[in-house]
Amino acid sequence: MGQLSRRSMLASTAAAAGGAALLSASPAAARPRSGPVAAPLDPDGHDPITVRWLDGAAPREVAGGTTWGVPWPRGAFSSDQSFALTTESGETVPMQSRPIGWWPDGSVKWTAHSVSSQAPRSESYRLTAGEATAPRSPLSVHRGRDRITVSTGVIDVEFGRGGDRVVTAIRRGRTVIAKDGRLVASRQDRSGTDGAPVIKSEAFTGFVSDIAVEQDGPVRAVVKIEGKHRKGRRAWLPFAVRFYLYAGSDAIRVVHTFVFDGNEKKDFVNGLGIRFTVPMRGELHDRHIRLAGDGKGVLAEAVRGVTGLRRDPGEAVRQAQYEGKKTPDTSTWDTRVTSRLQYIPAFGDYSLSQLNAHGFEINKRTGVGRSWIRVDGGKRAQGLGYVGSPSGGLAFGMRNFWQLHPTELEISGAAGDEAQATAWMWSPRANPMDLRFYHDGMGQDTFPEQLEGLEITYEDYEPGFGSPYGVARTTELMFWALDATPTAERFSALAEANTAPPLLVSSPEHNHSTGVFGSWAPVDRSNPAKKELEDKLDFMHRYHLEQVDQRSWYGFWDYGDIMHAYDSDRHVWRYDVGGYAWDNSELSTDMWLWYHYLRTGDAKAFRFAEAMTRHTGEADMYHIGKYQGLGTRHGVMHWGDSAKQVRISNAGYKRFYYFLTADERVGDLLHDLVDSDRSFLVLDPGRKVNGSNGEFDPDPKALLVGKTTDWGSLAMAWLTEWERGGKAIARTKLINGARSIAALPNGWAQGGTVTYNLADGTFTGPTEKLVSIGSLSSVFGLIEVMTELNDLIDDAEVKDQWVQFCRLYNATGDEQKEATGSSWGSQNLRQAYSRATAYAAKELGDETLAKRAWKELRRGHAGYPEDHPFTTERIEGPAVLNPVDEAELGTNASAQFGLAVMQCLALVGDEV
C-alpha cells in the first residue's frame, strides 16, 4: 500500500510541477483549443481537395457510414471553421466535422469528417471550407435516467446505464428487431498437471460500470460502454465497447476491446462474444437464415425448408422461400405438403465456425441435445450472418473473421419465440486460450544465466516476466437491423462492407503538401535512379505482405504482426527461436508500413499497416498492471520477452492511424501513453547490464531514462497529446526534454550518468564532454519525432545539437572527435542512419553531405547494398510444407531500408 500511495503522490506532484514549468516552457499555446488562434485565411482562397474511396470504386454498401481524417497546412483554418462536401456532380452531402489536431499557433492541423451510408454515392468527393449540409433526418441522442437512446431516423438503439445489458433494445419503428445485447465469456480451469481434464467451467456476463456519449450527431453518434465480466463475486476481463451510429442508417458498428487480467496458469478463456436476442415472427417456413461464405457465396435457408421435398408445395412457394420473401398463403399450397408440415424438421440452430485460416464449417441442428448436421464448408468465410423473417431481422458480422480465428457466428433457438445471435470472437468450439509461457526457464534463474541465454537464442528471459496480464485485443463488428430478409445481392454487399469497411481518404499529394508526419514525399519515378529505388520499395513491401498469407500469420493474438528473421536452412521464419520470432515493432516496422501507404495511397498498404496497428497496440503492450504503458520486445510469444520497454509501446507507430481515421480506440491508447514515463518507477530497463542489485528504489528526480531510444518513444506520445490539445504536461515534458538534452555538452551523444526528472521532463548530466552512443538510439522513432519537433518549436539550440548528432553518426572518427572530444567507435546500422545524414545535409544546405548520405545508403551497411538482389525464389518440394517464396530480406533491415530511402528521397532527392 505504501508503494501505491507513493505513486499517487508522485502523479499529483508531476501534474503540479508540470503546470508550473509550462509557464516558462514556450510562449506557444500548450492547449491549442484554449490558446491563441491564428487568423484564418479566407476560405474562398482555398481550393477544394478531392477525397476518394480507399479501395477505388464507390462501394455497393457503406458500413453505416465512414469517418476519415484530413490534414491542413499551418495557419489555414481556425478551430471553428466549418467544411462542406459535394459529389463529383456538385450534389451536396450531409457531413459532420470536428478538429482532432492543432498546430502550435492554434490553427487546425487535422479534421475528422463523417458521412452516412445514405449519403449520395460518388466515385470521389470535393471537400472545402463552407457550411455543411444537414441530413434530412438528423441523428439524435436522448439521455434518460436509466438509459440512453440514439435515434438515426431509421432505428432507435437503447443503451442501459448499468446492469448486464449493454444494449436493451434495437427498434425499427415499433418493431423490436433485437434486444438484450450482452457480452458473454467463459473460462476453464486447467491448472492440473500435464494438461489434466477440465476441473470446472464457468460462464460470465459483462456488466456495465460506465457509459458515455462521446459524439451526438447530427450525422454520427458514438457511445462508449465500459465494465467487466462477472459471475458471483468474481469480476474480470475488463472491456471497453464503442457503438457507432449514423443518420439515416440501420447499421451499428461496434469496436470491442477486452483486457486479459486473469491467471494464465488457471484461467483458460474458451469463449468470448457478443449476443443479441432476436424476436422471431411468423411461421417456421418464413424464418430465414443467411450465412456468408467464400467470395460472394451465401447460404440461404429457412428454419423449416419446403424445397427438395418429396411433395412439391408449388413453384411460387419455393421461389419465395428461397428469396427470403413471405410465402403465399398456405391455402394456395399443394395440400400434400400442408397436411404434413409438422413432419418437416425445423432447424433452429446454426453455426458457422472458422477455427483456422484455411477452413470453415457450417453445421445445424434441430435443438439442444440433438446431433449437429454438417451443412457445408469452405476456406475463408466473410463472417456475416442473418436471422429473421420477411418482416425484419438482425444481420451480424465480424471484420477479419477468418484472419482472427478461432471465430464463430452462432444462431440458436430460431424455431422458438426468440433466437440468440452470437458473434464469437473466440469460439467455444476451439481449444481454450493457452497463454502460459512456452518453456520452463531452462535454469535461467540469474542475470548472468539470462544474458547467456540471450547470446544463443536472442531471447531475453526472466522468470515471471512472460505474463499476459494486461494485454488486450480489439475486434470490429457490424450489426444491421433490417426491415426484411436481405436479397442475395444486398447480403453480399453487406458482407463486403463488413469485410473491408469503405473509407474515404485524401491523396498523398495533399497530405504531403500540408507538412504532416515529417520527411516524406509521394512516389517519384521521374528518373532512372529514383525509379529503381521505388521499384525496390514496392518489391520489398509486396514480399512482406505476401509472406503473411504464405506463412499463415493469422489468429486472434497473432494477426497483424510479422516475423523478425528467417531461417534459410529450414525455409521458415524463426517462429520458435527466442527473440527472432514475432517482430513486435522492432526497428519501427509499423512506421515503415505507414509511410509506404502515405507515399502510395495504396489500399493494400493501408490494410497491412492497419492490421499491424491494431495488433501491436493491443497484444504487444500492457494496458493495466505493473507493466502498464510498456511494450514487449520481439519473441516467440508477443508478451514473452522480459524486456518491457516504451520503445515497443511507441505512440509514433499508432498516431498515423489515429489521424487518418480518427479511431477512438487508438486515441485512447495514445492518451494512455502520455504517462508511460512513470513505468520507470517500477522497472529498470537496464537492470541486467547496469549493475543493479537488490530492490529497485528509483529517485523520481533522477530516473535512468535513456535520452534517445526511451525519450524518443516518450516524446512521440507527448507530441501527439500536444497536437490533440490534451494534457498540458505533455507539451511541457516534450519541450523541456528536448531543450535539456540539447543543453548537455554533447547533446544526444552525451555520455556519463544522465538522469531524468519525472515531474517536468528535464534531463541532467555531466558538464564535461563525454560520449555514449548506441546503434539503436534513433531507429525507434527518434529521427522522425525530432524532424517534426524542430519544425514546431523553432529552437535554434535544439536544432543545432540535433543536426550535429545526425551529421556525426556516420562521420569519421576524426570528425566526431573534433566535435565531441571522442570518436564514437564502430557504429552499426549505418545504412539506417543515412537518413540522419540526409537531414543534416538538408538543414545545412550541404551538397557534399547530401552525396555522402546516398553513398551510405548504397553501401548498405547492416542493410541492403546497391547490388542486393531484390528478387524471390520459389521453394517447392519435400523441404517445405507448402510452396513459398524466399528473398534475401529481413524484416528489420527492410523497415530501416524503407525509412532511409523514403526520407533520403524527400530530403536530398536531387542528389540521388
Q: Count of alpha carbons within 13 Å of 92, Cβ hemisphere only?
A: 12
Residues near 484 by Cβ (< 8 Å), separated by ≥ 6? 324, 390, 391, 392
**Whole-number pLDDT of residue 370:** 98
According to DSSP H, which parts of 112-266 are helical? none
CA distances from 665 to 252, 579, 669 (A): 16, 29, 7
Residues of the chain with pLDDT under 70: 1-45, 192-199, 693-694
At residue 24, the pLDDT reads 27
Q: Which of 608, 607, 603, 615 is nearest to 559 (CA)?
A: 615
Task: Evaluate whether 760 touches 736 at the Cβ level (below 8 Å).
Answer: yes
The CA distance from 561 to 435, in Å, is 17
For residue 31 the three cell numbers come to 492547449
Q: Report pLDDT for 194.
A: 61
Cα separation of 812 and 98, whole Å?
Answer: 50
pLDDT at position 253 is 98
Do 757 and 741 contact (CB within 8 A), yes or no? no
Give dist(CA 785, CA 591) in Å, integer: 12
DSSP letters of 77-132? --TT--EEEEETT--EEB-EEEEEEE-TTS-EEEEEEEEETTSPP-SEEEEEESPP
Q: What is the pLDDT at residue 28?
A: 34
Place of cell 555531466: 766
Distances (CA, A) of 845 to 838, 849, 908: 10, 9, 10
Measured torsion, CA atoms of residues 884, 886, 889, 890, in degrees rounded to the nearest 10: 50
Give the separation between CA 548 and CA 79, rounded to whole angstroms: 42
pLDDT of residue 693: 66
pLDDT value at position 435?
98
Mean pLDDT score of the chain: 93
Q: Can you tell me the distance from the alpha carbon of 541 to that of 599, in angstroms, rounded to the nearest whole number?
A: 12
Nearest residue to 736 (alpha-carbon basis) of 36, 29, 22: 22
Alpha carbon distance 386, 833 (integer Å): 54
CA 239 to CA 622: how far, in whole Å?
14
The residues, any chain, with a CB within 8 Å of residue 329's CB and separated by 6 or more, are none
Name residues whose C-beta falls within 8 Å of residue 144's C-beta, 6 or more positions apart in sequence: none
Q: DSSP letter for 487, please.
A: P
pLDDT digits (tens, 9 = 90+) for 379-408: 999 999 999 999 999 999 999 999 999 999
Phi, psi dihedral angles at 235 (to 5 degrees): -125, 120
Q: Distance from CA of residue 449 to its chain's centroid?
A: 36
Q: What is the pLDDT of residue 38?
A: 37
Contact 78, 37 (CB under 8 A): yes
Alpha-helix runs per DSSP H in 204-286: none
Interstrand relation of 873-875 and 884-886 (parallel, antiparallel or unpaired): antiparallel
CB 349 within 8 A of CB 411: yes
Per-residue pLDDT, 815:
98
Percentage above 70 pLDDT, the chain:
94
Contact 220, 246 (CB under 8 A): yes
User: Who's near 585: CB < 8 A, 6+ residues apart?
Assistant: 616, 620, 631, 647, 648, 650, 653
Q: pLDDT at position 718, please?
A: 98
pLDDT, residue 35, reads 34
pLDDT, tens digit (0-9, with 9 covering 90-100), for 182-214: 999 999 987 765 656 666 789 999 999 999 999
Cα 414 from Cα 248, distance rounded (Å): 29
Residue partners of 3: CB distance under 8 A and separation at least 6: none
Supply the DSSP string of 273-339, one letter for each residue. Answer: EEEEEEE--S-GGG-EEEEE-STT-EEEEESS--SS-SS---HHHHHHHHHTPPPPPGGGS-HHHHT
Please count the residues of the chain: 912
Number of other residues whose CB lies within 10 A of the CB of residue 221: 25
Q: Alpha carbon of 675 to those of 275, 616, 685, 789: distances in Å?
A: 36, 19, 17, 19
CB of 362 closer than 8 Å to CB of 368: no
Q: Residue 714, by phi and psi: left (phi above 0), alpha (psi -120 to 50) or beta?
A: alpha
Range list of H helices, 743-860: 782-793, 796-809, 813-820, 834-844, 847-859
